Structure 1
Amino acid sequence: MDTPEPGLEAYEAPRSEAAIEPPAGAAPSLWQSSLLGARSGARRVALVIGPISLLLGTAGLAWTAFGLGAGRGFGVHPLAASAAGMLAVGELYGAILGGVLGPIVARARRKSTESGRASRLAFLSRPIRLLPWRRTDVTSRTRPRRWPWVAAATIAAILTIAFGVGVYAGRYVDRRLAQAISASDRDDPNWRLDDLMAAREPVPDEENSAIVVAEVVSMLPEGWPGARAPGSPSGKDEVAEAADRMAAAAANTRLDDETAATLRGYLDAQAEAVGLARSVAEFRRGRHELELTRDLVSTPLRETQDCRLVARLLGADAAMRAHGGDLDGAMDSCRAMLGVARSIGDEPMLISQLGRIAAGVTAADSARRVLGQGEPSDQALARFQAAALDEASEPLFLRGMRGERAILDEVIRRIRDGELAVSALSDGGRPDDLVRPVSPWGRLWFDHQRAVGLGWMNELVAIAHRPPFERAPLLAAWEAEIRRVARSRLGLLAAPLPALMVPAAATADPSCVRYQASLGATAILLAAERHRRKMGDWPGSIDAIDRSILPDPPVDPFSGKPFLLERRDGQLLIHSAGPNLRDDRGAFDARTWRKGGPDDVGTNAWDVSFRRQPPDSPRE
């Protein structure tokens, strides 16, 4: 028999294992059985969970290498920590279970033969191998295993590739974002939100119509107009219902007695507020002080929205003054409505400019009603004509788009820098939602979204700089591209915030252009009325209007050509061709105009004999 080499026993049973395993021929103690069972349980659990943890850990480290290569800092992906935790917890539970079962199994073995007991003890102490059924001798165990080196090399290759991809992605995003920012700086140095807010026109208090409008609102009763009345079929009180009947009445007919009495009673009760509101006619500008919220999109615009209430109050006052024969006073109330619209000023938000449009449209509609009730003086007409032309020249769409660009970029930047939680933008979110640190790969993702959003908005602002009659096809193409990206497989994954937050420009622009067309047509109509008063008859064309009355007639913002003028059925009609660029002879169908139906935008006045008709006369 060969004599074993010296030290071989020591190699096969290190001190730590010798302390666990019992001497040959001796039964294991309780703690030895427990330790042997714990070791065996941990190893067998590791055999199952280990490969899964290795895959997850490699994926987490790959993300870590990707973020590091992108130049956004170091951060360990949660997958790596989860993999390590899963392996540790699995081995712990295996050890606990093996430690509990070890003494039980050992007690059962004491009843077996000595050879059987030795065989089972050898099985419990056997090390775990990838191929446990292969038998190896002592010499084979000294041979180095290859699979750890193969696994390590594979993991290293994966991390290297992830790092390289991160370097490429980081440089690509940095270059694209730098180009977008450079283009913004070149075309509009004050495009950032802080600069945009700082560059707003300063308005002294004594010239600020917004202060007067806010004071008027504080004097109005709660709910005007449209307060709910439990006993009313429409849910409104009698004043709101009277205001609705006034708005629906034909402009060249007198109000019925019930409507007039209700409105007169209300206006008499609010005489102080009405008088203060009428003073806004002498103001040319205004400014509300905005308190921006952290998420920006929920910034309260209560004072801006309240301007509509004051405009409707002045609309009722203009109608009642015209009803009572005070036509010049009625025109001044219309001019005050334009002052209310101008009180919104240069707020860099699209919703603010749409509120300005709502107040201004009320002024144009009211001026048409006043002209349908009689003949205001030339001075009163000239004052409103000048105010309408001034308001029509305001770049409302451009102002709104500049603000939307600044807000979109700032929102993404705040999320990227950990100043704002993404959940704050959802319906159930709040600006003060808990903010968590953004991972390096997350910062890269938000930088990419910022680059995409800023690029899109730069294109939109460039379109907003174009004349109104050139914008429609450009906006349609721009919006089609946004929809294409949003509907693509990776569109919402690569740039969800820009795709969801870009403004509905193709919808907002027609509102701005319609407002401009309405004001331009109204200014021309008033000039034509002044011409008729001076010359004795309506002008045959817009060019025929006395140049001392209308030196520079506005053009149709939809077509870029002169407005259309037509005399028909005792009326003079001034109207735009509308979005479909077709002369629909002044017809407008609110249900189909966005789809190419009759969409002429304009106004009209009647021959003197057709003005101030009884309330029961056929409507226009």
Structure 2
Amino acid sequence: MIDPDDDFAPPRPRFRFRRLRKLAFWSLGLFAAIAVVLFLARWQMGRLGQRQLTVMTNRLDVDEPGWRLDAVLEAWKKAEPPPNENTAPLVLEIADRVPGEWKTWRGSREAALWEQISDNQLPSQDAIASARDQAAATSRMRAEARGLCGTRGGRFAVALEPDPLGTLVPHIEKCLTVTSLLRYDGHLSALEKEPNRGISSARAALAVARAIGDEPFLGSQSGRMMCATAAAQTAMQVLAWGEPNEGLAELQTELLAEAEVPYLRTGLRGLRGTVDALFRGLEDGTIPSEHWFWIKHANINEIGPEHTAAFRAYRALLPGDHAKALEILTAYHEATNRPPHEQLTALRAVPPPTGPPNEFRHVITWLVVPPYERYARAEPQLYVSELHLSEVAEAGLQCRANLLCAATGVACERFRLKNGRWPGALTDLVPAFLPAVPLNPFDGAPLGYRLFADRAAVYCFWPEAPTKTESPEEFRHGAAPGLGIGYRMWNADKRALPAKEK
């Protein structure tokens, strides 16, 4: 029997119940306090985010009227050429009729040897024979594609998805197919001693780029860059294998005009409008969270009740997230208004929303706004794509460098045809053959030019290039590492030399 006065006796049941009740009361109170704090914090962050969004959109409405997606698309459609000048349907028709046999050959090792820039030396006999085997089957298609030469532009039909970020542009791949066919035709023309036809092929490839026009999508503008670069390379390969004497002035004008196209600015303007439309759709419910196309980039395969609940909890933060996405994309867009050689530095200076609580408050911004660099966050798979803005921006500058060097090389060829020699300096081309000496898009200095006994070279050098390559000696600044982009123009007796024996 336990002595009630014993100090070591266990607590009585009533005392134990009282302790449990007190613990439950304080636990419930603590939980309620936490819930109230979280609710108030969520409410306050929602109000703050809405104010930030209002300030941001009001600023854009004043500084850049027509920045929203519907206005961007309306302006794009208004610039559509008349039906009789719209080359887009013809590009699609040609692409659909390209023989499957040629498409298969295009992906072969022989085609790679044929298409690679071999400068003034011809490809191997095996590569030439392989290319000639495709000539008959593609003759009609190549002639129709050359008919694009000199055309003004086009407008492809784009079906905007309810979730605008899910909009696809499958016609870009068809443009690349036609451009590749024209590149093949240009090389074949030079080989067959018809270099003037080859110049027409290069100009037609530029017309394919113009058919893409100012489509307000980064993917479209990336495709236009590839078409334009291929056109410049085709023209210079024709000059390395032959002596065309027709269409050079027109080609030069078109190359210089294409070099002034603001690829990145056009794509970013469309992306900002698209991201704005996405946020507005998520905020007003016209784009249900479970139907959001880009939700797959959050590694969610099946949408369940827990995801719907999480999105509802996050909905109050959407305005602030929306404002941050517009802020970053606007800073990107403003950076593209700077001179080309200053753009990369300005883009790199735009900070992503790193560190808590920013990453929690700007989840969708992380998903849909491309970072400038991959290393901006530890989980790159959470980005909208594996393509980062630095890659698009750098590709745009390299495309501009190719176009300017090719245009200047054509001007040098025109000077040689008239004077029987290469210009002593690029300033000799002004103003008869060039309005001004173009500037290197990487440093803002005039293009480089070197003169040798058997050739001249026009080039741009980029010492800070992220990828250092073995550039030809003519395109380098001493032993300094970097990327050299340019072309060599050969004396007439040094063109179309036989391939080197292995």
After TM superposition, give the deviation of residue 500 of structure 1 in Å.
3.2
- The higher relative CO (CA closer than 8 Å, separation ≥ 6) is in 2
C-alpha distance in structure 2 between counterparts of 1:154 and 1:612, whole Å? 85
Residues 197-206 or 250-259, more deviating: 250-259
> What are the equivalent positions in structure 2 for 1:578-589 lying under 5 Å apart?
578=462, 580=464, 587=471
> What are the equivalent positions in structure 2 for 1:71-110 lying under 5 Å apart?
none
What corresponds to 1:90 in structure 2?
Answer: none
- Structure 1 position 528 matched with structure 2 position 396: no
C-alpha distance in structure 2 between counterparts of 1:350 and 1:602, whole Å? 26
- Structure 1 position 179 matched with structure 2 position 55: yes
SS at match of 1:348: coil
Residues 367 and 433 from structure 1, CA distance in 2 versus in 1: closer, same or farther, beyond 3 angstroms? farther
C-alpha distance in structure 2 between counterparts of 1:361 and 1:157, whole Å? 63
Code of the aligned partner of 2:277: E
Contact persistence 2:94–2:145 (CA under 8 A): yes
What corresponds to 1:109 in structure 2?
Answer: none
Q: 2:94 aligns with which of 213, 216, 223?
A: 216
Q: 1:540 aligns with which of 424, 432, 435?
A: 424
Residues 223 and 179 from structure 1, CA distance in 2 versus in 1: closer, same or farther, beyond 3 angstroms? farther
Residues 457 and 359 from structure 1, CA distance in 2 versus in 1: closer, same or farther, beyond 3 angstroms? same
Code of the aligned partner of 2:279: I
Contact persistence 1:319–1:369 (CA under 8 A): yes
Residues 580 and 412 from structure 1, CA distance in 2 versus in 1: closer, same or farther, beyond 3 angstroms? same
After TM superposition, give the deviation of residue 505 of structure 1 in Å.
2.0
C-alpha distance in structure 2 between counterparts of 1:319 and 1:491, whole Å? 53
What corresponds to 1:572 in structure 2?
Answer: 456
> What are the equivalent positions in structure 2 for 1:376-391 lying under 5 Å apart?
376-377=244-245, 379-391=246-258
- Structure 1 position 497 matched with structure 2 position 373: no
Contact persistence 2:324–2:365 (CA under 8 A): yes
Code of the aligned partner of 1:514: Q
Contact persistence 2:430–2:436 (CA under 8 A): no
- Structure 1 position 464 matched with structure 2 position 336: yes
- Structure 1 position 192 matched with structure 2 position 73: no
After TM superposition, give the deviation of residue 615 of structure 1 in Å.
2.4
Code of the aligned partner of 1:515: C
Contact persistence 1:385–1:526 (CA under 8 A): yes
Contact persistence 1:570–1:606 (CA under 8 A): yes
Code of the aligned partner of 2:81: V
Residues 358 and 207 from structure 1, CA distance in 2 versus in 1: closer, same or farther, beyond 3 angstroms? same
Q: 1:263 aligns with which of 113, 119, 131?
A: 131
What corresponds to 2:393 in structure 1?
Answer: 509
Contact persistence 1:224–1:309 (CA under 8 A): no
- Identity between Structure 1 and Structure 2 (%): 27
After TM superposition, give the deviation of residue 440 of structure 1 in Å.
6.1
Q: Higher Cα Rg: structure 1 or 2?
A: 1
Residues 606-615 or 333-342, more deviating: 606-615
After TM superposition, give the deviation of residue 283 of structure 1 in Å.
1.2
Deviations 1:164-219 (A, max 9, x none): 54553233111111122122222321211122111102222211121111010111
- Structure 1 position 562 matched with structure 2 position 446: yes
What corresponds to 1:397 in structure 2?
Answer: 264
Taking structure 1 as the reference length, the TM-score comes to: 0.67
What corresponds to 2:14 in structure 1?
Answer: 133
Contact persistence 1:315–1:333 (CA under 8 A): yes
After TM superposition, give the deviation of residue 307 of structure 1 in Å.
0.9
Contact persistence 1:575–1:586 (CA under 8 A): no
After TM superposition, give the deviation of residue 386 of structure 1 in Å.
0.9
C-alpha distance in structure 2 between counterparts of 1:433 and 1:299, whole Å? 25
What corresponds to 1:449 in structure 2?
Answer: 321
Residues 132 and 453 from structure 1, CA distance in 2 versus in 1: closer, same or farther, beyond 3 angstroms? same
C-alpha distance in structure 2 between counterparts of 1:249 and 1:166, whole Å? 59
- Structure 1 position 424 matched with structure 2 position 293: yes
C-alpha distance in structure 1 between counterparts of 2:311 and 2:304, whole Å? 18
C-alpha distance in structure 2 between counterparts of 1:456 and 1:238, whole Å? 40
- Structure 1 position 347 matched with structure 2 position 215: yes
SS at match of 1:526: helix
C-alpha distance in structure 1 between counterparts of 2:194 and 2:178, whole Å? 20
Code of the aligned partner of 2:96: S
Contact persistence 2:196–2:247 (CA under 8 A): yes
Residues 457 and 169 from structure 1, CA distance in 2 versus in 1: closer, same or farther, beyond 3 angstroms? same
SS at match of 2:426: coil
What corresponds to 1:307 in structure 2?
Answer: 175
SS at match of 1:347: coil
C-alpha distance in structure 2 between counterparts of 1:473 and 1:565, whole Å? 26
C-alpha distance in structure 1 between counterparts of 2:123 and 2:38, whole Å? 76
SS at match of 1:566: strand
Residues 205 and 147 from structure 1, CA distance in 2 versus in 1: closer, same or farther, beyond 3 angstroms? same
Contact persistence 2:46–2:320 (CA under 8 A): no
Residues 223 and 464 from structure 1, CA distance in 2 versus in 1: closer, same or farther, beyond 3 angstroms? farther
Q: CA RMSD in A?
A: 3.4
Residues 499 and 166 from structure 1, CA distance in 2 versus in 1: closer, same or farther, beyond 3 angstroms? closer
C-alpha distance in structure 2 between counterparts of 1:250 and 1:155, whole Å? 73
After TM superposition, give the deviation of residue 538 of structure 1 in Å.
0.8
> What are the equivalent positions in structure 2 for 1:230-249 lying under 5 Å apart?
237=105, 240-248=108-116
C-alpha distance in structure 2 between counterparts of 1:174 and 1:396, whole Å? 32
Residues 605 and 146 from structure 1, CA distance in 2 versus in 1: closer, same or farther, beyond 3 angstroms? closer
Code of the aligned partner of 2:486: G
Contact persistence 1:577–1:600 (CA under 8 A): yes
What corresponds to 1:21 in structure 2?
Answer: none
After TM superposition, give the deviation of residue 320 of structure 1 in Å.
0.8
Contact persistence 1:463–1:474 (CA under 8 A): yes
Residues 294 and 438 from structure 1, CA distance in 2 versus in 1: closer, same or farther, beyond 3 angstroms? farther
Residues 430 and 214 from structure 1, CA distance in 2 versus in 1: closer, same or farther, beyond 3 angstroms? farther
> What are the equivalent positions in structure 2 for 1:365-376 lying under 5 Å apart?
365-376=233-244
Q: 1:297 aligns with which of 165, 185, 190?
A: 165
Deviations 1:35-70 (A, max 9, x none): xxxxxxxxxxxxxxxxxxxxxxxxxxxxxxxxxxxx
Code of the aligned partner of 1:520: L
Code of the aligned partner of 2:156: H
Code of the aligned partner of 1:354: S
Deviations 1:1-31 (A, max 9, x none): xxxxxxxxxxxxxxxxxxxxxxxxxxxxxxx
Deviations 1:373-403 (A, max 9, x none): 12110x4211110110111111111001112
Taking structure 2 as the reference length, the TM-score comes to: 0.82
